[in-house]
Structure 1
Amino acid sequence: MDPPELTNFGSLVRFAIELEVATAAFYTTAAGLVGPGRYSELARALAAQHEGRRGLLVRTRQQTLNEMVLEPITGLDGHRYVADAALASPSEVPAKAMALEMAAVRLYEESADVARSLLTEAARTFRKLADENRRNLAALRETFPR
């Protein structure tokens, strides 16, 4: 995934949707790579969650952000939100899963701050997604203690 140029709400939401699609695909692949067990169950649950979040972002864009998509934004660096979702082996799963969730936390928290001044509904949605990513990180850390 290339770093996005986040210059307006349209590009921000488009990247957030792409991130959710890539993360859902990552967890689907990870569930198959690691075989049956506790992580496989968590990976399937997280894949479904991220697919649902994609739907939430699409609905939010359609219902709330249509007038705001071209509104200029500043202060977001796309390089901070990119994580490698490609998997080659089961040993990569823990680190890459945590990197994806941390990238999403940064994206949604920083986006919520930018959105707050322009659109409270978008800020609420981004804050909710960041909170979910924090819970996902906690579940991953519990499953893969260091």
Structure 2
Amino acid sequence: MADRTESSIVIDAAPGVVLDVIADFEAYPEWAAEVKDVTVLAEDGDGWADQVQFTLDAGAIKDTYVLDYDWDVVEDGTGVVSWSLVSATVLKAMTGSYTLAAEGGGTRVTYRLAVDVKIPMIGLLKRKAEKVIVDTALKELKKRVEA
């Protein structure tokens, strides 16, 4: 799973505002089209989600999976939010991250994602699916934050 997809976008809001939207998992079904349901399973003492269950319906891929989160961010919201797959039905592996950096008056968000599925899939198709997921997520995040 060494291959991954990466893309960036600049959002017209402070890093802390962007981080708050990323951390508000229960609201994902309101703005992330493929996410149908989200349940926070565990939080650390600071209120950051440690484990989150997602129900995804992305056309060809439908799955319910649990991600483990790591929050390496500072008070202003800059830093890295990363995750890895704990359990799933269709997914075999998933690692990803959002890197938030102040840029001008806004935030540059870089999204990295690597996914592997249990069903056989050509690498080129897998990377294309990752690119669609990453680009869609960044556009939807930008729209939600700037609304």
Greater strand percent: which structure? 2
Q: Normalising by structure 1, what TM-score?
A: 0.31
Greater fraction helix:
1
- TM-score normalized by the length of structure 2: 0.31
